Amino acid sequence: MQVFNFCAGPAMLPPAVMQQAQAEFINWQDQGVSVMEVSHRGKPFIALANQAEADLRELMNIPDDYHVLFMHGGGRGQFAAIAQNFLGDNGKALYLTSGQWSKSAVAEARKFADVDELDITFATEDGKGAKFPALDPSQGDYRYVHYCPNETVDGIEIFEEPNAPWPVIADMSSCILSREIDVSKYGLIYAGAQKNIGPSGLALVIVRKDMLKLPKLAMPSIADYQITADADSMFNTPPTYAMYLASLVFKWLKAEGGVKAIEQKNIRKAATLYDYIAKSDFYTNGVATENRSRMNATFQLLNSELDGEFLQQAEKAGLLALKGHRIVGGMRASLYNAMPEQGAIALVAFMDKFAKANQ
Ligand SMILES: *Cc1c(COP(=O)(O)O)cnc(C)c1O
């Protein structure tokens, strides 16, 4: 049976990448050993790391005045690292909140420094939305403003590019590489890998070089951007197997036509699902039209007593991990880059069948 995995994270990886990883699992580049068994200081692995960085730079059009760092500790590791790297000498920062992840980011930053929080959500007739606000330098002396363009749990995505009088830091864990962005609009972009990049544990950081001049706090060396940059992301042993898989995902994405092409595919997948829900009197979506996430489509059954039955039958039909996050309930279909268009089509076909059988 064909299975489609809608898990929000760790998420499915492209089947072609998994097959290549399987084929070379115990014999990488004819060395007779796995890529996870070789030194990160050896020529073959350094070549892999350099190629991964070059491919990512090409995919995202990253300017030369930005470092690309491969770090440990996933997305949440960066919640702390950002405050530690930039908020020394009593520095302040502004955190915009639009859902679960941006709220978690503020809570972590507060352990280290004095930060302000601004709720950027609003309610319309069709649901909850969020907007990057107009900001004025007189609002505060901030080292940076942090926000989360795609709230993975809530299904709220902000598509407009940010504009602020301070450097913008974006948690792109669940939307990186899903659509074209202008990297030069950001002081720092980061992402846990397990949605659009590779396995969990790895974190990707894209940081403008001048940001590293900001005063920092005392912190573990592995969290320090300057130390990581100076060591080409190899201050200590990097998560080599995760980097290998990320390198294959970047190559796959280039072969798919890059970010521009995958964005068109992502638009079609999301439209397949949202257009169906909009027409339905059995399912509903509580997010404002302009903020409906392309990566994490949240939806509810109007009769929530059928939730359990829906999930059970979906799983039997090979449609996995559709249960919404425990905090918000309902359903969530994550449609990351690796999800084929047939996945969205199969989901809608199942939803329609289930609705007709239970109307
Ligand atoms: C998944 C996710 C995280 C957390 O990533 P971890 O690797 O589990 O720490 C942070 N922010 C967003 C937006 C996410 O989707």
> What is the tens place of the pLDDT at every residue in 69-88?
999 999 999 999 999 999 99
pLDDT of residue 126: 85
pTM across the whole model: 0.98
- Is omega for the bond preceding 137 within 30 degrees of 0, making it cis? no
Same domain? For 262 and 325 the reply is yes
Question: Average per-residue pLDDT in the chain?
Answer: 97
Contacts for 312 with CB less than 8 Å, ≥ 6 apart? none
Same domain? For 248 and 274 the reply is no
Residue nearest to atom 12 of ligand 1 (CA): 173
Same domain? For 245 and 334 the reply is no
What mean pLDDT comes out for the span 334-345?
Answer: 98
The number of domains in the chain is: 2
Pocket of ligand 1 (CB under 6 A): 9, 74-76, 101, 148, 152, 171, 173-174, 192, 200
DSSP 106-136: HHHHHTTSEEEEEE-EEEETTEEEE-PPP--
- Domain end (from 255, 278, 293): 255
Ligand 1: nearest atom to the Cα of 192: 7
Same domain? For 49 and 171 the reply is yes
- Domain end (from 224, 255, 286): 255
Strands in the chain per DSSP E: 4-5, 66-72, 92-97, 114-119, 121-124, 127-130, 142-147, 150-151, 156-157, 168-171, 188-192, 202-208, 283-284, 296-301, 319-320, 331-334
Ligand 1: nearest atom to the Cα of 153: 15
- Domain end (from 207, 240, 255): 255
- Ligand 1 test: best mutation among 76, 177, 197, 295, most atoms within 8 Å of CB? 76
Residues annotated as part of the active site: 101, 171, 195
What mean pLDDT comes out for the span 21-47?
Answer: 98
Q: Shortest CA distance to 96 belongs to which of 149, 152, 45?
A: 149
Helices then strands, each counted (H, E), the chain:
9, 16
Q: Which domain holds residue 343?
A: 258-357
CATH of the domain at 315: 3.90.1150.10
CATH of the domain at 173: 3.40.640.10
CA of 76 to the centre of ligand 1 (A): 6
SS3 313: helix
Residue nearest to atom 13 of ligand 1 (CA): 173
pLDDT in tens, 153-182: 999 999 999 999 999 999 999 999 999 999
Same domain? For 131 and 51 the reply is yes
pLDDT of residue 164: 98
Question: Does some domain include residue 330?
Answer: yes
CA of 6 to the centre of ligand 1 (A): 16
